[in-house]
Amino acid sequence: MGLLVQKFGGTAVGDPDRIRSVAEHVSRTVRHGNQVVLVVSAMGKETDSLLRLAEDVSSTRPGREMDMLITAGERKAMALMCMALHDLDLPADSFTGSQAGFVTDGEHQNARILEVRPDRVQAALDTGRIPVVGGSQGVSTDHNVTFLGRGGSDTTAVALAHALGADACELYTDVTGVFTTDPRVVPTAKRIDRISFDELLEMTATGCPKPAMRSVEYARTHGVRLHVRSAFTWQEGTWVDEEEPDMEQAIISAVTHDTSEAKMTISGVPDQPGIAARVFRELAEAGINVDMIVQNVSTEGVTDISFTVPHEYLDRAMSTGGSLSTEIGATGVVSDDAIAKVSVIGAGMRTNPGVAATMFETLADCGVNIQMISTSAIRVSCVVSEDRAEEAVTALHESFGLSGD
Ligand code: ASP
Ligand code: MG
């Protein structure tokens, strides 16, 4: 019994039947004595279609109009959802992001939430109505409609749960929870019953596609309990919560992989103070987000610096890197876009030695070469050749005992 924010993703509201079954689901949740606030995504692949439509019409695609267009997807879904609820005698009102009190900055297509003032949502709840809020949207401080970005509905739901003081935020998707690894790669992957914010954040940062990383960050900062579960069953999913200090931690909770990055190497870089600062400052100024960085031990006063960047920024990074390399007197820049990052994640790593060793031995046993390594307190990541990534994930999942017995 309590106040629940329930977010339904695109697949969950993908067609009229699905919308009606979500309404049934809400009806049962209410019968069980809960108050519900709904957040909906655009139906099916509608956001993709709207983006394509804009591309077909325009080459300039002004941000303000893009956001007006994209948020229409969620707006359609929320109105239809309210109609389905009315048919079940559940009074419901739809709210755009602006009406729901989402104030954002003006960064179109990737707006950040500045404040949530859910007065109208609260008032609807107080009069026994079900608020249905359009996901991933808000209004900027200069009164324009804004879109929070891809996957932004998860963030809408978490932020609303926090602002309303909800007991939990349920993220309904097309999978039954968070898995020990991608079940498409390793069919024996298991659903995780409970995971900490820190671990899930590391997972979403290294290739686990759902929930959206920003929403996990928001949930962690504000302590919003998440329940990631399937819209197609009543089965419990994965609870995401604070780590309990007295709980026995699994050493490794999950294995992830990410093929969205490419590797760049600037070679023959003079090994002097200020060079790395200059390289990464110029990349940052070109708007390029760098992930892993490795600098070699220098020999004869020169060294190599390698780093990874998202595929879509590789061309820009190569041209920035190219001119930089000449200016600083380096010998050259090369790139490799056929790489993958495989990671093992687990809070138990803090207190158990040997995780890195086991990871490297496992990769060695399958003859997979490690190109780069990085670590955090609860993660070890290796860059390997992209065509060996699935094999590496399968072997790691097995060697850390995550496969079902
Ligand atoms: N419909 C938007 C998208 O696909 C927002 C969301 O679903 O979170 O990115
Ligand atoms: Mg989505």
Structure confidence at residue 383 (pLDDT): 97
Domain CATH code at residue 301: 3.30.70.260
Atom of ligand 1 nearest to the CA of 73: 1
Give yes or no: residues 160 and 285 share one domain.
Answer: no
Mean pLDDT for 307-336 is 95
Judge whether 317 and 254 are in contact, CB under 8 Å.
no
Does residue 405 register a pLDDT over 70?
no
| 355-375 tens-digit pLDDT | 999 999 999 999 999 999 999
Distance, CA of 405 to chain centre: 30
Q: Which residue minimizes the CA distance to atom 5 of ligand 1?
A: 151
Name the residue range of residue 22's domain.
3-174
Contact by Cβ (8 Å): 118, 166: no
Residue 280 domain-assigned (yes or no): yes
pLDDT in tens, 18-45: 999 999 999 999 999 999 999 999 999 9
Residue 245 covered by a domain: no
Query: Is the Cβ atom of 157 under 6 angstroms away from ligand 1?
Result: no
Nearest bound ligand to CA 148? 1
Ligand nearest to the Cα of 41, by number: 1
Question: CB of 151 closer than 6 A to ligand 1?
Answer: yes
The mean predicted confidence, pLDDT, of the chain is 95
Q: Does a structural domain hold residue 327?
A: yes
For residue 248, what pLDDT is reported? 64
Q: How far apart are CA 389 and CA 92, in angstroms?
A: 47
What span, in angstroms and rounded, lies between the C-alpha atoms of 268 and 53?
46
Q: How far apart are CA 237 and CA 387, in angstroms?
A: 32
Residue nearest ligand 1's atom 9 by CA:
150
Residue 247's pLDDT is 62
The pLDDT, as a whole number, for residue 347 is 92
Same domain, 57 and 159: yes
Q: How far is the CA of 48 from the centre of ligand 1 (A)?
A: 9
What global pTM score does this model have? 0.93
- Please tell me whether residues 107 and 164 are part of one structural domain: yes
Distance of CA 153 from the midpoint of ligand 2 (Å):
7
pLDDT at 299 over 90: no
Same domain, 67 and 162: yes
Q: Is 14 in the pocket of ligand 1 (CB under 6 A)?
A: no
pLDDT average, residue stretch 54-76: 98
Q: With pLDDT > 90 as the criterion, what percentage of the chain qualifies?
A: 91
Instruction: Note the pLDDT of residue 384.
Output: 97
Our count of domains for the chain comes to 3
Please state the rounded mean pLDDT for residues 286-300.
90
- Residue pLDDT, tens place only, 72-124: 999 999 999 999 999 999 999 999 999 999 999 999 999 999 999 999 999 99
Q: What percent of the chain has pLDDT over 70?
A: 98
Residues 275, 318 within the same domain: yes
Q: Is residue 182 part of a domain?
A: no
Those residues whose C-beta lies under 8 Å from the C-beta of residue 166, and which sit 6 or more positions away, are 2, 3, 4, 5, 37, 160, 224
Per-residue pLDDT reduced to its tens digit, 153-177: 999 999 999 999 999 999 999 889 9
Q: What angle do CA 129, 134, 136 make, to 5 degrees?
A: 145
Say which ligand is closest to the CA of 39. 1
- pLDDT (average), residues 116-140: 98
- Give the containing element (helix H, strand E) for 197: helix 197-205
The pLDDT score that the predictor gives to residue 68 is 98
Whether residues 34 and 127 share a domain: the answer is yes
Q: For 220-251, what is each residue's pLDDT tens digit? A: 999 999 999 998 887 899 999 988 766 666 78
